[in-house]
Every structure is written in C-alpha cells, then in structure tokens.
Amino acid sequence: MSGEEVTKNILTAVQLKEQGNLAFKEGDYPAAIAAYHQIYMYVNGYSSSGGGGPPGLTGQTTKQVTQEEMVQIRELKLAHYCNLAMCHMKHGPKYLKARDNCTKALAIDPDNVKALFRRGKCYAQLNELDEAKADFERVLQLQPESSDAKRELRSLRGAFEKLRKREQKKCYYDCNEAPASLHSVAPRVAPVLSERVVGRQLVPRAAAIWVDGVQLAL
C-alpha cells in the first residue's frame, strides 16, 4: 500500500471523526454512530514498519506504515471505540454495547481514562458494582483529582448499601418462611381442627388426626 493511500485513509477517518463529533453535539446520535463506525474501515489492518509500535495494534496485519502514521491510527481507533461507547450510553441507552466498546479501547490502551470511566458508568448501570468500583478507582489512580470519579464512587457507596439491605431483607424472609409442605397441608388441616372445636370435643395432646391420608400428631 502506497504512502499516499495510507495518508488518504487517515484523513478520511479524521473527517469521519469530526462528522461524528458534530452530530453528537447536535444530539443526532444515530448519525454520530454511523460516522464513528466507519472510522474503523479506514484504520484497520495496519502494522508498524519499524517495529515497537503502540500496544494493541502491532502484529495484526501485513500493511506497513510509519511510526508516526501508526500513532495516528491508534488514536483514531481509540476515538472509534470510546466515542461509539458514549453514543450507545446516550442512545437507547445500550450499556452492554457501550461497555464492550470501552473494553476494546482498553485492549489498545489499558490506561485510557475515558474508556475506564465510561465502562465504570456502564457497569454501574448494569448493576455490576464491583467492576464499576474497580474502574473508577483505577481512574483515580491515573487522575487523583478527578471529581467525576470521586462522585461516581460516592454514588456507588449508596448503591452498595441498598444492595446490602435488600440481601438482608431477602435473607430474613428466606430464613423465616415455613417449608412449602406445611403451607400445602395447613388449609386441609384447618377444617378438621375447627370442627373439633365447634363440637366441643377435646383432643388429648398424644392423639392424632388424619388429613388426606397423612397422620399428624397434635
């Protein structure tokens, strides 16, 4: 592949990114998704001719490009995944798709703050609280002054507390619920006991009654 063709593909991808950004700002998320999605067609399938290229891109294809071009391609791939994730978080929302796009971005750049933060938001919406907490904490490791990550972690503490209370409540009902067999027998026992009380017949404690062919000790 000629250098001119590589340059043309990179420029086209940049234009698509700008189109997507404009559509996103205008709230036209389907148009933004369409533009961002096309970026990948123009930047996929390259490897660095000099070796030692950015992580996540080398060794994928035989189309050789310069180190400088590889850096541009890497950034465009990150924009493709991160911006698609943001669109899916706004349009739908589709948190599973957004999460997966963030994960693909992190395969290229494990310390990409945008991808980590957005994936954390997706995890929180999907009620995967431990995973969300891990992503937000990683953001704070990379950017200790991130007020957004701090805010999300505070919100997660409330979500964890609600989850704890729900589990306690569920455990209480599970532990105090009578066995199903007793619930099924009780309605059939009641008429027999009622009849004996109305008839003023005292039943000795050691006696037994029969209900549906089952002997029940009193």
| pLDDT at site 205 | 45
Residue 141: partners with Cβ closer than 8 Å, 6 or more residues away: none
Name the domain boundary from 95, 121, 145: 95
* pLDDT tens-digit series, residues 160-185: 888 777 777 777 666 766 555 545 54
Q: Is 197 left (phi over 0), alpha (psi -120 to 50) or beta?
A: alpha
Tell me the residue range of the domain where 139 lies: 111-177
Has residue 31 been placed in a domain?
yes
Q: In the predicted model, what is the mean pLDDT of the chain?
A: 81
Instruction: Tell me how many domains the chain contains.
Output: 3
Same domain, 8 and 68: yes
Percent residues over pLDDT 90 in the chain: 61
What CATH number should be reported for the domain holding residue 58? 1.25.40.10
Radius of gyration of the chain, Cα coordinates, nearest whole angstrom: 31
Quote the CA–CA distance of 39 and 56 in Å, as a whole number: 17
Any domain includes 182: no
For the stretch 53-103, pLDDT in tens is 444 443 344 578 999 999 999 999 999 999 999 999 999 999 999 999 999
* pLDDT > 70 fraction of the chain, expressed in percent and rounded: 71
Do 14 and 86 lie in one domain? The reply is yes
Contact 89, 95 (CB under 8 A): yes
Same domain for 8 and 84? yes
In a domain, 103, yes or no: no
- Reported as type and span, the H/E element at residue 212 is none
Nearest to 85 by CA among 30, 33, 8: 33
What is the reported pLDDT for 181? Answer: 52
Strand partners, 217: 208
* 71 is a domain residue: yes
* 86: β partners: none
3-state secondary structure of 215: strand
pLDDT of residue 167: 73
pLDDT of residue 193: 44
pLDDT at 11: 97
Average pLDDT score over residue span 106-126: 97
